[in-house]
Amino acid sequence: MSYRTFFGLSAEPFRADLALEQVLTTPELLGVQQRLDYVLRLGAIMLVTGEVGADKSTAVRYSCGTLHHSRYKTLWVTASAGSILELYRQLLAELDIATASSSRAVLTRLIRAQIDSLVAGKKQQPLLIIDEASLLRLDVFAELHTITQFEADSKPWLPMVLAGQNNLAENLLYRTAIPLASRIVARSHLPAVTRQAMGEYLDHHLTIVGIKTHPLPNRR
């Protein structure tokens, strides 16, 4: 007998790919959503920080999921300790652009042209999400600032969300990151999970898969 049959589970519990309506909407998550709406109106940058397991990615994914798909195009990339070229290639893949070029100038031009096409041609607002942004090298922050500038920095066409661990906020204090950091207009810090919050999380996810009575009733 499988554990799902034994416990009467209708689906795999604690899945990461929950439907939008199944995500546990905490005050912290709703705070991320409200700040993202503000950032989109301004075409600015948002910072989302928190400890490992604080559901930063889930909060950002939920917030993006509430956006109208015909009006917004979410460009989700995952940061690494590599060069800016690595990040640019990920971004171009999200923009459905294939290129073998390793020229920073060429990649930047392709990104700018596609963003311009989205905004001016298709009337879509792009939103760049950089997950695990705390892994980015300091020199990458300086480069990122340049791709947010359109028409002599008069058009805020590429709003951005930087999500990562707590050291991300510290990295943005370095001199090379100051131009990018100056565009940050909203910050959300997701605290470490408390015992009470963990109980609510367990109850929520077990309810989703059909458990009406918690298997550990005396856990509190």
pTM over 0.75: yes
Say if residue 44 is exposed, middle or buried (CB neighbours under 10 Å; 0-12, 13-18, 19+): middle
* pLDDT exceeds cutoff 70 at 218: no
* pLDDT exceeds cutoff 70 at 48: yes
State the CATH class of domain 24-194.
alpha beta
Lowest-confidence segment of 19-28, 61-70, 89-98, 207-216 by average pLDDT: 207-216
User: Phi first, then psi: what are they for 153, rounded to 5°?
Assistant: 65, 25
CB 48 within 8 A of CB 184: no
Q: Which residues contact 171 (CB under 8 A, 6 or more apart)?
A: 134, 136, 138, 141, 177
What pairing do the DSSP bridges indicate for beta strands 72-78 and 45-50?
Answer: unpaired
* pLDDT exceeds cutoff 60 at 219: no
**What are 61-118's pLDDT values in tens digits?**
999 999 999 999 999 999 999 999 999 999 999 999 999 898 999 999 999 999 999 9
State both tokens at 68: 């109208």
Sequence ranges of the domains in the chain: 24-194
How many CB atoms sit inside 10 A of residue 205's CB?
16
